[in-house]
Amino acid sequence: MQVGAYVVWSMDRTPGSVIPPGQNVVLCVGDSWTHGMGSSDSSKHGYPAVLQGLLRERTAREWLVVNGGQSGQNSRDVLQRLPSQLTEFRPRVVCVLVGLNDFWSVPDELTEGSESSTIDHGAYRFRWRIPRLVAWIYGKFLGSGQVAAKPSAPRDPEWAPRKVEVEFPYRQEPMKWKSTESSHAHQQEGWKLNAANNVHGALLEFELALAAAPDDAQTRQMLVELYRKSGRNEEATTHLQWLIESWTRDLDFWSGRSLVAALNTYGRSQEALDVAVKLLTRFPKDGTTWLRRAQSEFFLGRHADAKRSIEEAIRLAPDRWAYFWLYKIHFLGLRDVDEGIRSIYRAYVALNDADRAADDLRALMTSSDGSRLRPVLESFGCESGVRTRLSQIVDEVLASRDGAAASRVLSAHLRRIAALARDAGATPVFLSYPVKQPAEAVLRAIAAELDVKFVDVSQIFGQRLAPRRWDDVRAPDGHCNDEGYRMMADIVADGLQSVVGATGR
- 120-129 per-position pLDDT tens digit: 666 544 444 4
Which of 5-19, 363-377, 446-460, 489-503 ranks highest by mean pLDDT? 446-460
Beta-carbon contacts of 444 under 8 Å, excluding residues fewer than 6 positions away, are 430, 432, 454, 456
β-strand 63-69 against 93-97: which pairing, if any? unpaired
> What distance in Å separates the CA atoms of residue 271 and residue 161, rounded to the nearest whole number?
37
Taking residues 51-57, report their average pLDDT. Answer: 95
Assigned fold of 2-12+23-124+405-503: Rossmann fold (3.40.50)
The pLDDT assigned to 438 comes to: 86
172 neighbors 195 (Cβ within 8 angstroms): no
Taking residues 399-416, report their average pLDDT. Answer: 86
CB-neighbour burial class of residue 118 (10 A; exposed 0-12, middle 13-18, buried 19+): middle
Domain limits, the chain: 2-12+23-124+405-503
> What distance in Å separates the CA atoms of residue 407 and residue 86, rounded to the nearest whole number?
25
Residue 78's H or E segment, with its range, is helix 75-89
> What distance in Å separates the CA atoms of residue 188 and residue 127, rounded to the nearest whole number?
13
Taking residues 279-298, report their average pLDDT. Answer: 96
The pLDDT assigned to 436 comes to: 87
> What distance in Å separates the CA atoms of residue 474 and residue 439, rounded to the nearest whole number?
20
Lowest-confidence region among 84-93, 133-142, 310-319, 434-443:
133-142
Reported as a single tens digit per residue, the pLDDT across 449-480 is: 999 999 999 999 999 998 888 888 998 888 99
Instruction: Using pLDDT thresholds of 50, 70 and 90, give the confidence band for residue 500.
Output: confident
> What distance in Å separates the CA atoms of residue 59 and residue 499, rounded to the nearest whole number?
12
> What distance in Å separates the CA atoms of residue 108 and residue 436, rounded to the nearest whole number?
24
Q: How far is CA 407 from CA 43, 101, 168, in A?
A: 31, 11, 45
Reported as a single tens digit per residue, the pLDDT across 106-115 is: 788 998 776 5
Question: Please, where are the H alpha helices in 230-285?
Answer: 233-250, 253-265, 269-282
Instruction: Using pLDDT thresholds of 50, 70 and 90, give the confidence band for residue 16.
Output: very low
Instruction: Using pLDDT thresholds of 50, 70 and 90, give the confidence band for residue 72.
Output: confident
> What distance in Å separates the CA atoms of residue 247 and residue 245, rounded to the nearest whole number?
5
Task: State yes or no: pLDDT of 131 exceeds 70.
Answer: no
The pLDDT assigned to 116 comes to: 65
Q: Output 3 or 35, whichever has higher pLDDT.
A: 35
> What distance in Å separates the CA atoms of residue 30 and residue 428, rounded to the nearest whole number?
13
Taking residues 336-340, report their average pLDDT. Answer: 94
Q: Output 164 or 304, whichever has higher pLDDT.
A: 304
Label each residue of 89-147 as H, E or C: HCCCEEEEECCCCHHHHCCCCCCCCCCCCCCCCCCCCCCCHHHHHHHHHHHHHCCCCCC
Return the exposure string of 252-283: e unless at least 16 CB atoms fall within 10 Å of the residue's CB, then b: bbbbbbbbbbbbbbbebbebbbebbeebbeee
Taking residues 223-239, report their average pLDDT. Answer: 90
The pLDDT assigned to 191 comes to: 93
Task: State yes or no: pLDDT of 55 exceeds 80.
Answer: yes
The pLDDT assigned to 6 comes to: 52
